[in-house]
Amino acid sequence: MTTPPTATGEARKPRKQLTGAARESLTTYATAAYQRGDSIRTIAATTRRSYANIHAILTDAGVTFRPRGGTPSRPAGHPGPTTVAASAPKESRR
């Protein structure tokens, strides 16, 4: 079985399974990056590992995952969504 070529035409080398110090090092980096706000996809691309591999590493490390879609970004100091009081009169659009 041959490995598919890369964009440069070079054959890809199969990845070795991470064990020991190499896995610990990747776990430390991935955990810090995720807690800093990086997405799993960004960490996977940076480390040239698969999404599933990074997800498994973070799961094994006991990381609490953010909700899907992340958090909506707001400018610093923005109070967030405002609610209109129920008794406030509404303008008519005629």
The SS3 call for residue 85 is coil
50 inside domain: yes
16 inside domain: no
Nearest Cα neighbor of 61 from 18, 26, 20, 22 is: 26
Place of tokens 């990074």: 54
H-helix or E-strand spanning residue 27: helix 20-36
46 inside domain: yes
Tell me: the pLDDT tens digits for 35-84?
999 999 999 999 999 999 999 999 999 999 998 875 666 666 666 555 55
11 inside domain: no
5 inside domain: no
Q: Give me the number of domains the chain comprises.
A: 1
* Bridge partners, 5 (sequence order): 11
d(CA 90, CA 94): 12
Domain span including residue 41: 28-60
pLDDT at site 94: 62
